[in-house]
Structure 1
Amino acid sequence: MTVTNNNNGVSVDKTFSSLAALRDPLTAADAVKDLINIVRGYESDEETNVCGW
């Protein structure tokens, strides 16, 4: 799964062990939420935000 911010080009992804794992609604929702939070972190302060990378 990949989330990309079209405004600044930041792209983050998450790998799942199987497609079945992604089919679970709670797992998919949590993954999307986590990826969006990482992408949003890059908008707040480009120079100081490392986002755990």
Structure 2
Amino acid sequence: MERAGVDGGEHEYQEENYIALKWDRWPVEILMWNRQRRIFHDPTKQFSLIPVVV
């Protein structure tokens, strides 16, 4: 994964539980699954990910 060409990293994913974004140069961001809204959301800031099936 990559953050706008500035930083790369890895992720850890547990379906319908959480996704952890493990950046090389930034702190880890953990987004929790919101079952009602069907998105991953960081409870400490306004940052969400919408899962997309390709």
Q: TM-score range by the shorter chain?
A: under 0.3
TM-score of the two chains, using structure 2 as the length reference: 0.26
Larger C-alpha radius of gyration, 1 or 2?
1
TM-score of the two chains, using structure 1 as the length reference: 0.27
Return the structure number with greater relative CO, CA threshold 8 A, min gap 6.
1
